[in-house]
Amino acid sequence: LKVRRSERLIDITHYLLERPHTLVPLTFFAKRYESAKSSISEDLGIVRRTFKGRGTGILQTIPGAAGGVRFIPTIAPAEATEFIRAMAIELSDKSRLLPGGYVYLSDLLGQPKVLRAVGRLIATQYAQQQVDAVMTVATKGVPIAQSVSAYLNVPFVIVRRDSKITEGPTVSVNYVSGSSRRVEKMELSKRSLSQNSRVLVVDDFIKGGGTVNGMKSLIEEFDSQLVGITVFAESLFSGKRPISDYTALLAVDQVDDQAKMLHVKAGNYLERTFN
C-alpha cells in the first residue's frame, strides 16, 4: 500500500532524528514506503530545507550507489547563545560556591533538558570532524559524555581514578592534579579504545587542567589522537595550566569563597563554534 507524502515526511523525520550520524540509503526509504526514489528525493529535500531553516541539523546527501542521507544534529547559534546565557545566570548563584573555587553543578548535570542541550552544543562543535570516541573521567563527566556520544553516534569511554577488577587489564598514566599538586593515577581498560582512534575529551569542570592533561597522555598511550577538549565550565586558575587549548561553555570570572561572591560568564564555546 503506497504511503502518502505527509505520512512519509513524519516517519522519515522520526527515523532520522533517532539515528544521528548514520548513513541511510534512499532505497531503504523507497522500500519502506513502496515509493519511487524520485518521490523520496523530494521528501528528503523538504526535510533538509526544514531542518536547515529551523536549525534542527544538517541533512547530508551522499551521492552514488553506496550513498544516501545522513542527519547531523546541530544547534542554531541563537539557541546556543540563549542556553549559555541562561546557564551563566543560573551558575552565578553564590549558593553554588564550593571551597577551592569549585562550583556546584550536579543538580544541573542531572537534568535531562540540560544534558540534552549540552550534548547537542558539543556535538555541534565537532559535527564536521571525525570523532571515533568520546572520553571522560568518572564521575561527573559521565552524563555529559553519554549525551555527546548519543548525538555523535559514537561510543563513550570512562577513565577511572581507581582500579577495579571488573575493568580487566588497563592502561594507566600518572598525572599531576593541578589544584592540589598531587600525583594521581588514572586508567582505562585496554579493550575500550582501539589504536588510531580520534578521541574527543569532555568533562564537567576544568580547574588546574591536570585531569584533561592526564586524559591527553592516556590517549597517546593508546596510539590515538586527541580531536579536542570541551568542558561545561572552567574555573579561574591562578597557576599555569598544562593545557591551554580547550573549549568551555561557561567560565567563572569572579569567585571569592570568603566574600561569598561568584560570577559566571559565557566561555569561549560560541566564538570557537560559530565563527
Backbone phi and psi for residue 85, each to the nearest 5 degrees, phi listed first: -60, -45
Give the CA distances from residue 118 to residues 77, 89, 123, 248, in Å, rounded to whole numbers and listed in that order: 13, 16, 8, 11
Closest to 257 in 3D by CA, of 46, 87, 103: 103
Grid cell listed for 179: 589544584
Among 35, 125, 147, 177, binds ligand PCP (CB under 6 A): 177
**If binding is defined by CB under 6 A, does position 205 make contact with ligand PCP?**
yes
Closest to 20 in 3D by CA, of 71, 60, 54: 71
Displacement of CA 255 from its chain's centroid (Å): 27
Pairing verdict, β 261-266 and 247-256: antiparallel
Among 17, 138, 236, 259, binds ligand PCP (CB under 6 A): 138
**If binding is defined by CB under 6 A, does position 143 make contact with ligand PCP?**
no
Grid cell listed for 219: 590517549
**If binding is defined by CB under 6 A, does position 72 make contact with ligand PCP?**
no
**If binding is defined by CB under 6 A, does position 216 make contact with ligand PCP?**
no
**If binding is defined by CB under 6 A, does position 207 make contact with ligand PCP?**
yes
**If binding is defined by CB under 6 A, does position 263 make contact with ligand PCP?**
no
**Interface residues for ligand PCP in 76-135 (CB under 6 A)?**
none
Among 204, 232, 249, 269, binds ligand PCP (CB under 6 A): 204
Among 57, 68, 210, 267, binds ligand PCP (CB under 6 A): 210
Grid cell listed for 215: 586524559
**If binding is defined by CB under 6 A, does position 206 make contact with ligand PCP?**
yes
Among 209, 230, 248, 269, binds ligand PCP (CB under 6 A): 209
Residues at the interface with ligand PCP (CB under 6 A): 137-141, 177-179, 203-211
